[in-house]
Amino acid sequence: MTVRVTGRSVRVVEHDGVTIDELVGNVATKNDELSVAMVNVTVAPASEPWLTLHYDEWMSVVTGFIEIHEEDESGERTITRVNKSETVFISKGSRFQPVFPVVASYIPTCLPAFAPDRCIREEGTELSDVSKRLNELHSKEVNVLSADDINSKYDHVKTIYHMAQKSLWSQCSKRAYFPPTFKQDGFTHATAIASTLIDTANHFYTDTKENGSV
């Protein structure tokens, strides 16, 4: 029988009220077969981006509750609520969004272990601070994705959505459309999740006097 200390917990994420301490895995114990972590969400409501897993994952809720959102090909959303002391299983290949309506904590167990290239985060072309931190921990260099790498990860997306003021769109019948912020941002904001346009409208267009958008 062998008993030994193989590592110690490492805080791999601390961002916007969410902390993740890896207990077992590639960072904490140099183990790629299995990973276990403690996630604490101290600011709610909150959510992760949409994720696609290349491992099996179990989420065991310790405090509060969490929601697992899924969408079918028609965009219809299914929500699974996971309460305190319950465990939800998410199989390899699943696409879902973890949502935190309340302050909560849970233990994710991944088989094989979590690694950035096994958890596809729908963040767009620019890596978030969370992804940059995870990449730094899992490799000596930050993994900057090429356009081809990014496009290959979204082959399942058939439609993308962009919200525009109707008057601006109607001016582009004979020329290309560019949003007012294109020069500043350098790209056009879009999403594969139609329901997120509600948040866009409420955040950016509540003061717009014009009736209608496309």
- pLDDT single digits (tens) 54-107: 999 999 999 999 999 999 888 899 999 999 999 999 999 999 999 999 999 999
| Distance, CA of 33 to CA of 30 (rounded, Å) | 9
Higher pLDDT, 34 or 130: 34
> What pTM was estimated for this model as a whole?
0.64
pLDDT, one tens digit per residue, over 93-133 is 999 999 999 999 999 999 999 999 999 999 876 668 888 88
Give the angle subtended at the CA of 47 by the CAs of 101 and 14, to the nearest 5°: 110
Choose among 113, 142, 137, 117: nearest CA to 127. Answer: 142
Q: Cβ atoms within 10 A of the Cβ of 176, count?
A: 5
145: helix, coil or strand?
coil
Q: Tokens for 45?
A: 């409501």
Look over the chain and give the mean of its residue pLDDT values, rounded to a whole number.
86
Predicted pLDDT of residue 208:
72
Predicted pLDDT of residue 94:
94
Choose among 51, 23, 53: nearest CA to 38. Answer: 23
| 163-to-199, 208, 214 alpha-carbon distances in Å | 11, 13, 6
> Which residues touch 54 (CB under 8 Å, ≥6 apart)?
92, 93, 117, 118, 119, 120
> Which residues touch 20 (CB under 8 Å, ≥6 apart)?
11, 12, 13, 14, 37, 38, 39, 40
